[in-house]
Amino acid sequence: MQSDKHISKSFDQDLDEAIRLFLYMGDSAANQVAKAIHALIDKDETLAQEVIDMDFDINRMEVELDEHILLLVAKRQPAASDLRLVMSISKGVVDLERIGDEAVKIARMASKIAAEGKSAYGYAEVQHLSNQVRLMLNNSLEAFSQSNAEQAFEVMRNDSAVNTEYQSAIRALMTYIMEDSRHVSKVINIMWILRSLERIGDHAQNVAELVINYISGQDVRHSDYAMVEKAVQEANDRLAARQVSTLPANELETSDSDEG
């Protein structure tokens, strides 16, 4: 992650640790979602229970990171861009924890469906939507790690496609229920899984918005794409200026002479 180096080496170390913990928690949540979907598709009750048990670790990480951030703010009193980054991590932790909660919901439904012993209609819709949502989540975490506002903006744009796909899947399942009411309970379980996946996509979008916020200084929540695009451009300008300011003097002189 690209960030300004603070005058205090201890602050840099504390901030780096917060970033590391956040990304580790994000990877754990993403892994939890992947396992929950595999548990559903493979009718694996053991794997479903493993996902449920993983929630304890996700919750523990949330508490640990909250405490770390609280101490960092109290002891170091970060300002400007450092404070935005710290607050983005603090807000993002909530989304990661809720992603873990949605994974648990999927795992519980997977266990219930597996116990029924028959395949449920809607697996194709679940797989397709889960692929899109998991890509959003992985890209939002990568954007956070790399301070990549463009990638974060792409995640936000993908959320619209996920919402459209979710609505389409729900309509298809409703049609199936009307045609054959014998499988109502099973189809409803699949609908709850699709709903959890859609919410995971929303949380991934929230993380992407935080990336743009801490880089650009602009709060892009509830904003149209034109405003977000402007914020992304400002974020890119900030990064470009930061990179120029950190160039050695001889490289700056070379750059100036080239422009002349």
Range of the domain at 119: 9-246
Say if CB 93 and CB 65 are below 8 A apart. yes
Is position 110 within any domain? yes
Looking at the predicted structure, is the pLDDT value of residue 246 above 90? no
How far is it, in rounded angstroms, from Cα 177 to Cα 169?
13
Q: Which of 6-15, 98-107, 159-168 has the lowest mean pLDDT?
A: 6-15
Domain count, the chain: 1
At 74, is the pLDDT very low, low, confident or very high (cuts 50, 70, 90)? confident
Of 201, 140, 141, the residue nearest 165 (C-alpha): 201
Encoding tokens for residue 2?
Answer: 């690209």
- Residue 154 three-state SS: helix
Pick the more confident residue, 106 or 213.
106
pLDDT of residue 260: 46
- Overall average pLDDT of the 114-133 stretch: 84
Looking at the predicted structure, is the pLDDT value of residue 53 above 80? yes
Is position 259 within any domain? no
At 36, is the pLDDT very low, low, confident or very high (cuts 50, 70, 90)? very high
- Overall average pLDDT of the 19-29 stretch: 96
Is position 77 within any domain? yes
How far is it, in rounded angstroms, from Cα 232 to Cα 209?
10
Of 22, 2, 39, 225, the residue nearest 126 (C-alpha): 39
Phi, psi of 8 (to 5 degrees): -95, 120
Is position 255 within any domain? no
Is position 4 within any domain? no
pLDDT of residue 19: 94
Q: Which of 136-145, 147-156, 242-251 has the lowest mean pLDDT?
A: 242-251
Distances 201 to 42, 44, 60, 207, 209 between C-alpha atoms, Å? 23, 24, 23, 10, 12
Lookup result for tokens 């395949």: 119
Encoding tokens for residue 223?
Answer: 């904003």
- Overall average pLDDT of the 63-79 stretch: 88
Q: What is the pLDDT of residues 218-230, one digit of tens each?
A: 777 776 777 778 8
Is position 1 within any domain? no
At 47, is the pLDDT very low, low, confident or very high (cuts 50, 70, 90)? very high
Question: What is the CATH number for 96?
Answer: 1.20.58.220
Of 107, 83, 113, 88, the residue nearest 29 (C-alpha): 107
pLDDT of residue 198: 97
Say if CB 5 and CB 12 are below 8 A apart. yes
Cα dihedral value 236, 240, 246, 251, nearest 10: 160
Is position 253 within any domain? no
Encoding tokens for residue 247?
Answer: 């160039």
How far is it, in rounded angstroms, from Cα 95 to Cα 64?
15
DSSP calls for 105-119: HHHHHHHHHHHHTSP
**pTM of the full predicted structure?**
0.86
pLDDT of residue 233: 82
Is position 252 within any domain? no
Say if CB 15 and CB 6 are below 8 A apart. yes
Say if CB 202 and CB 159 are below 8 A apart. yes
